[in-house]
């Protein structure tokens, strides 16, 4: 009986292993997470699987807020090739995103024509209130030290590059990182 049980355990493990290794939505994938859209509706990031994304912590009252224009331009130019910008409002730095979801949405559309997906305000800084999104984005790499930090996310949802807040959306190195992922 012991031999049969051991054989059954080994056979079960052998069958389970390919399922685990074949899992394309590993826990280190941004696209394995769920959040809330700016309009308050649930948002499953799996809908971006297969796309290259630029995840950005945004703020409406920051000196870098004009980067919204460049982010929208990048989104519009590359969305037909499987690219999207994902905007994550954050009030972590200088209290520069104090608005309600409706105020944020209105501001972004009115002033910058933002059409890329925007999500509910979250915490980027490490600590007990940190969003699982930024826990994942910052895992093993830099976390934002100010608004408009950028993470290039590959089609599988894994972070492939980080660019600090001072790097504008039209930066050559940022664009090259996005293009390299789109070519994969």
Q: Which residues are annotated as catalytic?
A: 111
92: CB partners within 8 A, 6+ apart: 57, 123, 124, 125, 144
Alpha helices by DSSP H, the chain: 2-21, 67-78, 101-112, 132-137, 172-182
State in Å, rounded, how far the first CA of the chain is from the last one.
51
Distance CA 14, CA 19 (A): 10
């Amino acid at each position: 009986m012991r031999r049969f049980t051991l054989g059954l355990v080994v056979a079960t493990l052998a069958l389970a292993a390919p399922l685990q290794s074949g899992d394309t939505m590993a826990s280190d994938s941004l696209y394995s997470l769920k959040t809330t859209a700016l309009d308050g509706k649930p948002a499953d990031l799996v809908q971006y699987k297969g796309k290259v994304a630029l995840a950005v912590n945004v703020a409406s009252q920051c000196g870098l807020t004009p980067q919204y224009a460049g982010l929208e331009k990048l989104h519009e130019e590359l969305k037909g090739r499987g690219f999207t910008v994902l905007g994550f409002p954050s009030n972590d730095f200088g209290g520069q995103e104090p608005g309600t979801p409706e105020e944020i949405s209105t501001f972004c559309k009115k002033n910058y024509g933002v059409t890329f997906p925007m999500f509910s305000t979250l915490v980027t800084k490490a600590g007990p209130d940190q969003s699982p999104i930024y826990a994942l984005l910052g895992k093993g790499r830099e976390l934002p030290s100010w608004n408009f930090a950028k993470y290039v996310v590959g089609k599988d949802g894994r972070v492939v590059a980080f660019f600090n807040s001072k790097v504008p959306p039209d930066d050559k190195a940022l664009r090259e990182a996005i293009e390299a992922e789109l070519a994969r």
